[in-house]
Every structure is written in structure tokens, then in C-alpha cells.
Amino acid sequence: MEAAAVARPRASRWGNALERQGVLASVLVAPAVIFIAALVGGPLLLSVYLSFTNATAGSLSGKWVGTENFRHEWSNQTFQDAAWHTFLFTVLSQVVVLLVAGLLAHALLRSFPGKWILRFLILLPWAAPLPLSLMGWKWMFDTSYSIINWTLENLGFVSKIDPPQWLAQPRLAMGSVIAVHAWRLIPFAVVIFLAGLASIPKEVDDAAAIDGATGLKKFAFVTLPLQLPIATVALLFGIVFTATDMAVVYILTQGGPPPSFSTEMVTTWSYKTGIESGSLGPGAAISLALLPVLAVVAIGMLIFARKREVT
Amino acid sequence: MSNAFREKSLSYLIVGPFAIVLAFPFYVMVITAFKNGTEFYDASATPYWFKQGPTLDNARFLFDNTPYTDWLENTALIGVAVVGITLLLALPAGYALARLSGRVGQSLGVGIFLTYLVPPTLLFLPLFWVISRLHLQDRLLALILVYPSFTVPFSTWLMMGFFKTIPQELEDAARVDGASRLKTLVRVIFPISLPGILTVIIFSFSLVLNEFVYAFTFISSTAHRTLSTGVYTDLIRGDLPEWGAIMVAALIPSIPLALLYNTFLDRFIAGFTGGAFR
Amino acid sequence: MASSDDPGRREGRYDRRELIRRAGAGAAAVGVAGSGLGQAFYGPLRFKGRDLSGDLTIIQWAHFVPAYDQWFDNTWIKQWGQKNDVQVKVDHILNTLLPTRAAAEVAAGQGHDLFFQLSPPAQFEDQVIDHKEIVQEVTRKVGKIGLVGKKATYNPKTKKWFAFSDNYVPDPVVWRRDIWNGVGESPATWEHVRRAAPKLKAAGHPLGIGQSAELDSNMALMSFLMCFGAYVQNEKNQVVLKSKRAVEAVKFMADIYKRGETDEIFGWDPSGNNNFIYSGKGSLILNAISATRTPEDRKLPFADDLWIWPIPKGPVQRKGFEHVMGCYQIWKFAKNKAAAKKFLADLEINYSQAFTASKFYNFPSFPGAMPFSKIRRATAADKHKPLGKYGILTTIAQKYTVNPGYPGNANAAFDEMFNKFLIPKMFAQVSKGQMSAQDAVNAANHDIQAIYKKWRKLGKI
């Protein structure tokens, strides 16, 4: 680490300290790395091992079956549907988040009376512990007592007997799950965007004004490009959060509704197979499908962000 | 119409509706929290207001029939401890990675981020096995030990980006004055990075609060549960969720936290001035 | 916790030596007469000499009749704990989360001494003890286990009792007589139901036979299959779903859906069909009596119009599964197996108390613990209208209730199929017009056979 790492213009100045810096750096990074290796790396390896066995019902060992789990599970239609749903879910919710958060962050830049309160309202979905706010949503979507349906019924837009079933009709269910997930991520994205916007140096602002770029032009040619690195990172985190988190789907629909299970995601399907049905090996194999895809996406986006950095 | 006025009204037009939509579920929660239980099944009672007047029965049910205060305490305790551990691990690591330019630093950084891609559904069984070997099951310590595994990568990343914005010259100046490396860190760098630290605190805390799978697996006895699991497991009686009590339980942490975040938001944003995510 | 040095405590209960003496002289009568705490206590010679001190940890569901948990937590375990010098702790969790919890405890090799499941947990056979000691003990005191309980918790292939079932719950239909009267019908047979469906829906009160991925739908639809003479497995535990009768059943239900139900039946959880009735909208559901007890408790205006009938008769027979079945398991790694065994034995032997506390929800798996005659007397004394409505439960229990897996027995493959909700999926595919009935049945049959093959390979069937 010491030798290859640092190439600075002040190399001679730091000559002596190079070694010390390297040592210090290792010391500083070590605890975090060790911790992560132990608590993520270790169990991950165990899970990978499991995916090659036929372990069942919670016991952490089983007979080696090679790639059979992968072959069997990845060719399963339910899994393939789940993969597609995960993709849809991730992409659509992120699009909504980006658009809304971008807009909101922009509008929140300047001060206006009442901004503090409005901002408070916007932050609420993020501040509330997720499983609790999901209960709120479940109540709002309830098959019998949904406030949304009550409103629509009393306004005469839908029938009292057969109102829209937000979690029981396939397309609506997917829409609801996407909406709730976006709802939960928007405040987080707004904050990140606000930070990004605030970081645009004033000189750039002034320069744009001088060049006559205002309003939409400014947004398109100045703000957007400068926002790109942050937006990319925000998008990346959003994608990862969305693809690997099963709370929203699990609590709202459990991957239903039958028969199409339109909201079944890779995470919930893995959970059902591995835990609820006791087939650990196959469950691990399903979950592992996410890793390479996300890794590729992550690395790709990181490279993109790095290239686009405006200094 | 002046430009400023037009921009202000534009802001209202955009922020207003979204704020209402985002906060609407909380309005429903508030009404439900204080609604009389019999009104739930009364089709003539509007869900937007109280037919029989607000009642504290649901809150009373929550506090009398469940160890809700225990859950609050547990969550707070875990939150503080995990934030502490995260700061301890992520701050130095973020700094080191920020200064460690070149491929090693970058690949380590990316490597740390990649741990994020592993879903908890994959890890929770092996982790539970580890926790039991350590005889920590049903102890809050188990969560305190495991949660940093997802707060640390994220926070390291945040701090890495943040430290990169601190010009090298600042450190060099301190070194020239004869300060040792360590002293520079403590006396010069960390005070400046207070907004970044604030960020880590807020983000880590919110990650802890939202976590469900691990909390559910490692903690089994009711009294040791956290907010996210206790409400879900103890207030839904299979046949009938206690909606009123659930909503009370949901509101109690949400509102203060939102107030807190809102208060610190400006400072936190100020910390990013300079482009943290470079 | 009891201290044996405390003289005041000694007086209220039998000293162990005295118990054994009395047991030798015919303790049964003495036990029934009851101690001051009103509790029959059979001093089991079987567990004699085993040290019963220490802790006993139990995990079970949050009962759909809250009164049961109140009795269990505040009365039963306290009394039993005092009598046996054991500190009993019970955790309640949401029933849908029990399988996860169990898997986690097995993975860790640590957990509760007694683990409760709502359906026969055959998948954990290897991780639990053989429960035959408890079965034998209870048999000696109150008689044999019922057929339902036996076929649900005994694996004839491995000859192991992989769980101890304390109770099962008969599954009636709960229907709104006022609404049905209004359209001049009653749910005597499934044909009646189909006929009434469009009329009920037009009156604004559709039917509610769930086709969701949850427990109630599972039970209702599998019972429905049986009424048509279709089964998932036969007595030899072979998959026989692919049959003309299954196709007929699926088509029939799809017809009922089209004529008389709405889409919400696809999005329910266990509380969904209950809420459907409580809101006043629903006209019929298949559910245990928690669906009538709650309206009574909450004084809903139509509580007296809710009638309880057996499952409607199909073209072949009238038959249903139990709604849920309580099955306790003791892990091989449980710390206090002796206390766990005795706890279960005592609970079952004294089941009349549990039965009453559950407001007739829990029927004992060992019928001798609360004979049907006694049950009939209890239900007749219930004051809710229409008077005597709960009496039908005994008929349902005796004549129309079978174990999951009937005519075979409950096994891990059946359990897995159950947990994956393959049957509701099959019905929903046809109801929603996604597949033809024959295709759906074939597909389900294919999936289920794969599951059976796997478990057969593991030697469990």
C-alpha cells in the first residue's frame, strides 16, 4: 500500500512522511474494513456456500449439490417474473423520485414564508420508521376501509361495491408499491439534491447570469450538468436501496396479489423460498442473483459519475 | 409582477401540493390515532374527522397493554450506540480513503460500497448463527453489533466525499507549524468536518430506525423489541390490527424526528457546500 | 418465583410425595375436585424424579380471540409455574411470522423451549424431539388423541411424533342471515351459494371466499376442493391433484367469483375476510368463530344476524379442514425439555379451561380432555343470539373436520405447498381468466409434485 498509492506533486516534501502516512492510513481504515469483512463478508461467504447445498429449514449445512440450485431456481418462471418486477419497481420508483425530488429541491432553494413548515411536511416520510409508516399506508389501502376509496366512493367516482383494490388488483398493486416506495425515498433525495445545489459555487451562478442564462436555460445547461455527479450517486443509492429492500413489498402485499403475484420481487421470493418454505439453499441462490447485476450497475454508474465530474 | 414574486409563487405551487401529498398519510394517522374504535366499522363515519370526538383510548391501550416505552428506549439506546460506533469507524476510514488517492484508495472505497449490494435477506440467517454462538441472541447488543455493518459503509462513503473537499493546504499548514499528524487530525480536521459528522449521525440514525429484518430475527422477547418490530408483531392480532394504537405508536417517534431533521437541515446542507460527492 | 422454604406457599398445593401416594390410590378423582386454585393437577409419575426447576420459554401466536391470551398469560402459566417451581415466560408474535422465527432459532441452535405453529410443522421434523412421551402421558389420563390430531402430527414413515397438537379449530361458514333471507337463499350447498351469488352482489353484499396468499384462503379453497372430491394427496401421500374433480371445482369457484365477488378477495391477509364482514358489506365468509366473537365484543349492529353453519355441501361430500391447528414443538436443543413436556401434558389434560377461555375457539386434539357432551352443554349456555348458535361447532368438529393432508397425513411436502399458497394461486389463475382450469390444475400439480419429490428424496415421506 505504501509504495504504490500516493503520487503527489509534493512528493519530495512528504518523502519521509510517506511511510508514516501509509501506516496511518492503514491504521485508520483497518477497523472499518475488519468490521465489514467480519459482519458482511463472512456471512456472505456462508450464504454463497449454502447456495451450493440443499440445506433446509434453518440448519446451516447440507449436501453439496453443485449448481443445481442455480439452474433450478433461475429457470423458474416465478423467479424470472420477480426479476422483471424488481427491475420495473426499481426503475419506475427511481424515475419518480428523481423528478419529484429534483423539482422540490429546486423550489426549496429560495426562502419564502412557510418554507420551514412545508419542509417539515416533506421530511416526515423519511423521519418515520419505515415499518410504522407502512402500517399507515396499509390502513389507507385497506380492502374494506380505505380512506382513498371512501373519498372516491362518496365523490361518485367509483362504485361502492367494487371500488379499486389498491393492493389486490395486479397493476394497481404494482403502482401502489412503487408510489409508496417513492414516497419514502423522496425526502432523502430532496436533501441530497439540496446539498448538491447548495454546493454550486456562487461564481458559476454569476457567470451564468452574465451569459444571460436564466430560468430553464440555466437549469438545463448549468444546474443539470453540475448536479449530475450527485444525482448519479443519489440514483445509485436509490437503486441499491430499492432492489435489496423488501420491507415495502412485504408489509403491503407480501408479493401478491395472486394469481400473477405482480409485486413479487427477487428479495421477497428469496425470503419465501428460503425461510417460509425452508429451502435455504435455493433461497440463497435466488438472492445471489441480485449481486452481479447490482455490482455491474454500481460500477458502471460510479465510472460515469467520475467521468462527468466538473471541477 | 416582479420576478421575485413570480418565483415565490412558483415555489408555493410546486412545493405546496407535494408537501400535502407527502404528509397526507400522517394526517390520516393522526385522525386514526385519536378515533374511537367503534367508528372504524361505521361506514357513515368520515375517516377525515371524528364522529364521536377524539379519544385517548388508543394511546392508553398502547401504553397499558404493550411495553411501548421499552421499545422506545431500546430503539434510542441502539440508535445512539450504533451512531457512536459508526462515527468511530467511519470517520477515520473516510479520512484515510479521502487522502489515499490513486487506485488503492478508490478500489477500497468501491469495495466498501459493494458490501451495500448484499441484501439482508441473504445475510440474516448466517448472522443469527454468529450472534447465537456469541450468546447474544435476544440482547440489544446483537443489533448494536450488526447494524454498523450497513451504516459504516454508507457513512465511510459520505465522509470520504466530505473530506475530499477539505483542501490539503489546511493540513499542510498545520503540519508546517509543527503539529503531529494525529494532532492535525484532531485539532484541525475534525472540527471543520462537523457538518459532515452531523450528516453521518442523521443518516445512520434513520437507517437504524428503519431496519426490520435483523431486529425481528435477533430479538424475540417482547420487552427487548425495537419500534420497528414491536408494533408490527404485538399490535396485530392476526384477526384485527389495533389500528388506533398502531397509529399512535407511529406518530410518537416520527414527529419529533422530523422536527429535528428539519432544524438541522440547513447546517447539514451548509456542510456540503464545496461539493461533497466528488 | 417460588421458594420452597416459604411455608405459606406449601399449604396451597400438593407436596410431591403426597401426590405420588394419592396417585397410587386413584388420583384422578382427587385431582378433578381441584385444589384451592380450582385446577386439576394430575401428578404424573412419568416425570417423577425429573428436576423441574428453572425457566420455561414459550413462543406462540397472538390469539385471534384476545381473551385466550389473557387467560394464558395471566392465569394459566402463573398457576402452572407456581405449582411446578418453574418460571414460565411466553412471547406472542404475529402468526405469519412464526416460520421465520423458527428457522432463525434452528439456525442458531438456540431458542424457546416450546415453539408453537398454526399448522403441522413437518418441515422441522429433524430438529425436534420425538413427542411421543407427551402423547402417551396425555393418553393415559384422558384417552387417545383424535384422528385429526394424530394424522397431523405423526409421521408414519419415520414413526415419529414431530409435534404435539393441543388444539384444532373447526371451520364453519359465517353468514349474514338477514341479507341472505332478503334474497331468499341460504348456503346449504355450494350450488345454493352459486345461485345466490349474483343476487347478493346486486344487493350490495358480495361473497367473500378469499383467493389470496394467506391462511384463510388456503384453508377455504382446499376444503372447497374436498367438497368436490378432489385432494392434493391420497392416503399414500402421493400427489393426486390432477383430476377431473379438481378441474370442476376450480371452474365452479371461478363462476362464483365472476357472479358474486369483487377483486378484494385477492388482496387479503388473515384479517381481510373478517373486516369484510365487520364492515357490513360481506354476506358470507369461511372463518373460525373469531368472526362472530369480535362483532359481539364490539357490539356491531348485525352481530345477532351472523349465523354459523357447516361448510356448504359439494357434489361429493361436505368436508373441511380445521381452520388452524395448534402444534407445539420442542427443539432438540431446548434447554428445559422436561418442563416443556410436562407443561404440554398439563395444558392438554386440563383443556376444558383453555376451551372456555378461548370462547369455544380451541377444540382439544384429545377429545377426552373436553368431551363433546360437555362442549355441547357449554355452547348451549352461550347467551349470544341466535341462541345455541355455537352448538353446530361440535357437529362440524365430529363430522366435517379432517386434518391437513387428508386422506394422507400432514408432512413436510404438504407444509411447503401450503406455505407457498399454490392452491390459492391455482384458483386465482382461473378466476381471473389467466389460464384454463385444466391448465391451472396441471401447473399446480406439476409444481406440487416437484416439492414432494424433493422431500421424498430426503426420506421424509
Name residue C306's beta-bridge partners.
Answer: C176
Size of interface A-B (CB pairs under 8 A): 304
The domain A77-307 having CATH identifier 3.90.1200.10: the answer here is no
Residues B40 and B75 occupy one common structural domain: no
Contacts C101 to B, Cβ<8 Å = 216-217, 220
- Predicted structure pTM score: 0.83
Contact C455, C461 (CB under 8 A): yes
Q: Is the pLDDT of residue A307 over 80?
A: no
Q: Do C108 and B241 touch (CB under 8 A)?
A: no
Cα gap B103→B87, rounded to integer Å: 25
Contacts 24+ apart (CB under 8 A), C146-149: C146/C365, C146/C366, C146/C367, C147/C402, C147/C403, C148/C322, C148/C325, C148/C365, C148/C401, C148/C402, C148/C403, C149/C325, C149/C365, C149/C366, C149/C403
In this prediction, residues A9-17 reach a mean pLDDT of 44
Q: For the purposes of burial, counting CB atoms within 10 Å of the CB of B37, is it exposed (0-12), middle (13-18) or buried (19 or more)?
A: middle
Contact A194, A231 (CB under 8 A): no
Size of interface A-C (CB pairs under 8 A): 122
Residues B221 and B176 occupy one common structural domain: yes
Task: Please check whether residue C16 touches A, CB under 8 A.
Answer: no
Contacts B40 to A, Cβ<8 Å = 145
Of A116, A118, A198, the CB nearest to B272: A198
Cα of A40 to nearest chain C Cα, Å: 17
Contacts B270 to A, Cβ<8 Å = 198
Please state the domain extents for chain C: 44-168+325-380, 173-321+411-457
In a domain? residue B62: no
Task: Please check whether residue C276 touches A, CB under 8 A.
Answer: yes
Contacts B174 to A, Cβ<8 Å = none
Give the end of a domain, one of B33, B55, B77.
B55
Class of domain C173-321+411-457: alpha beta
SS3 C57: strand
The pLDDT, as a whole number, for residue A20 is: 60
Cα of C268 to nearest chain A Cα, Å: 7
Task: Please check whether residue B45 touches A, CB under 8 A.
Answer: no
Contact C275, A144 (CB under 8 A): yes
Q: Name which of B22, B130, B154, B180 to mutate to probe chain A: the one with the most chain A Cβ atoms within 10 A of its Cβ.
A: B22
The pLDDT, as a whole number, for residue A207 is: 74
The pLDDT, as a whole number, for residue C253 is: 97
Is the bond preceding A257 in cis, omega lying within 30 degrees of 0?
yes
Contact A131, B228 (CB under 8 A): yes
Q: Do B125 and A275 touch (CB under 8 A)?
A: yes
Task: Give the position of cell 397499558.
Answer: B64
DSSP conformational letter for C315: S
**What nine digits make up the cell of C127?**
430438529
Cα gap A104→A81, rounded to integer Å: 34
**What nine digits make up the cell of A66?**
453443485
How crowded is residue A116: how many other Cβ atoms within 10 Å of its Cβ?
Answer: 12
Contacts B58 to A, Cβ<8 Å = none
Contact B257, A159 (CB under 8 A): no
Nearest chain A residue to C123 by CA distance is A57
Contacts A254 to C, Cβ<8 Å = 213-214, 269
Cα gap C326→C164, rounded to integer Å: 8
Determine the CATH number of domain C44-168+325-380: 3.40.190.10
Nearest chain C residue to A141 by CA distance is C267
**What nine digits make up the cell of C451?**
416439492
In this prediction, residues A249-260 reach a mean pLDDT of 86
Name residue C401's beta-bridge partners.
Answer: C320
CA angle B127, A273, A165 (to 5 degrees): 115
Residue A158 Cα to chain centre, angstroms? 34
Q: Do B125 and C280 touch (CB under 8 A)?
A: no
Is the bond preceding C386 in cis, omega lying within 30 degrees of 0?
yes
First to last CA, chain C: 44
**What nine digits make up the cell of C52?**
423441574
The pLDDT, as a whole number, for residue A21 is: 62
Is the bond preceding C407 in cis, omega lying within 30 degrees of 0?
yes
**What nine digits make up the cell of B77?**
439506546
Cα of C102 to nearest chain B Cα, Å: 10
SS3 C26: coil
Q: Is the pLDDT of residue A231 over 60?
A: yes
Q: For the purposes of burial, counting CB atoms within 10 Å of the CB of A225, is it exposed (0-12), middle (13-18) or buried (19 or more)?
A: exposed
SS3 A306: helix
The chains in contact with chain B, meaning 3 or more Cβ pairs closer than 8 Å, are A, C
Nearest chain A residue to B33 by CA distance is A136
DSSP conformational letter for C136: H
Nearest chain B residue to A283 by CA distance is B122
Q: Name which of C126, C259, C266 to mutate to probe chain A: the one with the most chain A Cβ atoms within 10 A of its Cβ.
A: C266
Cα gap C281→C260, rounded to integer Å: 12
Cα gap B148→B90, rounded to integer Å: 10
CA distances from A285 to A43, A50, B173, B185, C434 (A): 14, 8, 54, 45, 29
In a domain? residue B5: no
Name the nearest CA neighbour of A89 among A203, A180, A27, A189. Answer: A180
Residues B28 and B113 occupy one common structural domain: no
Cα gap C319→C397, rounded to integer Å: 10
Where residue B242 sits, what CATH number does that domain have? 1.10.3720.10
Cα gap B96→B89, rounded to integer Å: 11
How crowded is residue B164: how many other Cβ atoms within 10 Å of its Cβ?
Answer: 20
Cα of C61 to nearest chain B Cα, Å: 8
Rg for chain A, CA atoms, rounded: 24
Nearest chain B residue to C97 by CA distance is B233
Cα gap A119→B266, rounded to integer Å: 11
Contact B39, B50 (CB under 8 A): yes
CA distances from C156 to A54, C151, C407, C411 (A): 24, 9, 13, 10
Q: Do B238 and C63 touch (CB under 8 A)?
A: yes
Task: Give the position of cell 388508543.
Answer: B58
The pLDDT, as a whole number, for residue B238 is: 59
Contact B271, B196 (CB under 8 A): yes
Amino acid identity at C433: G
Task: Please check whether residue C333 touches B, CB under 8 A.
Answer: no
Structural domain harbouring B209 = 67-272
Q: What is the pLDDT of residues A151-207, one digit of tens each?
A: 999 899 988 888 999 999 999 999 999 999 999 999 988 988 887 777 666 667 677
Contact A28, B96 (CB under 8 A): yes
Contacts B41 to C, Cβ<8 Å = 278-280, 298, 300
Q: Name which of A276, A279, A280 to mutate to probe chain C: the one with the most chain C Cβ atoms within 10 A of its Cβ.
A: A276
Q: How many helices (H) and strands (E) does chain A have?
A: 16, 0
Name residue C321's beta-bridge partners.
Answer: C402
Task: Give the position of cell 454550486.
Answer: A200
Task: Please check whether residue A137 touches B, CB under 8 A.
Answer: yes
How does DSSP assign chain B, residue by residue? --HHHHHHHHHHHHHHHHHHHHHHHHHHHHHHHTS-GGGGG-TTS-TTS-SS---SHHHHHHHHHS-HHHHHHHHHHHHHHHHHHHHHHHHHHHHHHHH--SHHHHHHHHHHHHGGGS-HHHHHHHHHHHHHHTT-TTSHHHHHHHTHHHHHHHHHHHHHHHHHTS-HHHHHHHHHTT--HHHIIIIIIHHHTHHHHHHHHHHHHHHHHH--HHHHHH--SGGG--HHHHHHHHSB-SS-B-HHHHHHHHHHHHHHHHHHHHHHHHHHHHHHTTTTT-
Number of domains present in the structure of chain B: 2
Task: Give the position of cell 389500528.
Answer: B243
Q: Name which of C70, C91, C300 to mutate to probe chain B: the one with the most chain B Cβ atoms within 10 A of its Cβ.
A: C91
Cα of C165 to nearest chain B Cα, Å: 20
Q: Do A195 and B250 touch (CB under 8 A)?
A: no
The chains in contact with chain C, meaning 3 or more Cβ pairs closer than 8 Å, are A, B
In a domain? residue B103: yes
C44-168+325-380 and C173-321+411-457 have identical folds = yes
Cα gap C365→C286, rounded to integer Å: 21
How crowded is residue A269: how many other Cβ atoms within 10 Å of its Cβ?
Answer: 27
Task: Please check whether residue C74 touches B, CB under 8 A.
Answer: no
Cα of A298 to nearest chain B Cα, Å: 8
CA distances from A160 to A167, B49, C202 (A): 17, 20, 11
- Tens digit of pLDDT at every position of chain B (278 positions): 567 777 778 788 888 899 999 999 999 999 999 998 778 777 677 888 888 888 898 899 899 888 899 999 999 999 999 999 999 998 888 888 877 666 777 777 778 777 877 877 778 777 877 777 787 877 899 999 999 988 898 888 878 777 777 777 777 777 777 666 666 667 777 777 777 788 889 889 988 988 888 887 788 777 888 988 888 877 877 567 888 999 999 999 999 999 988 888 887 776 655 433 33
The pLDDT, as a whole number, for residue C155 is: 93
Cα of B139 to nearest chain C Cα, Å: 13
Cα of C211 to nearest chain A Cα, Å: 7
Contact C166, C145 (CB under 8 A): no
Q: Which residues of chain C from 421 to 460 reach within 8 Å of chain A, CB to CB?
A: 421, 424-429, 431-432, 434, 454, 458
Count Cα neighbours of B47 within 13 Å in the Cβ-side half-sphere: 27
Residues B27 and B152 occupy one common structural domain: no
Task: Please check whether residue C93 touches B, CB under 8 A.
Answer: yes
- Tens digit of pLDDT at every position of chain C (461 positions): 333 333 333 333 333 443 334 333 333 333 333 332 222 333 333 454 455 778 999 999 988 888 999 999 999 999 999 999 999 999 888 888 888 788 878 877 888 999 999 989 998 998 999 999 999 999 999 999 999 999 999 999 999 999 999 999 999 999 999 999 999 999 999 999 999 999 999 999 999 999 998 889 999 999 999 999 999 999 999 999 999 999 999 999 999 999 999 999 999 988 889 989 998 999 999 999 999 998 998 888 899 999 999 999 999 999 999 999 999 999 999 999 999 999 999 999 999 999 999 999 999 999 999 999 999 999 999 999 888 899 999 999 999 999 999 999 999 899 889 888 899 999 999 999 999 999 999 999 999 999 899 889 888 88
Name the nearest CA neighbour of C404 among C212, C168, C208. Answer: C168
Considering only CB atoms, which residues of chain B are within 8 Å of chain C? Answer: 37-38, 41, 43, 124-126, 128-129, 131-133, 137, 216-217, 220-222, 232-234, 236-241
Of A39, A44, A110, the CB nearest to B122: A44
Q: Is C54 left (phi over 0), alpha (psi -120 to 50) or beta?
A: left
The pLDDT, as a whole number, for residue C25 is: 36
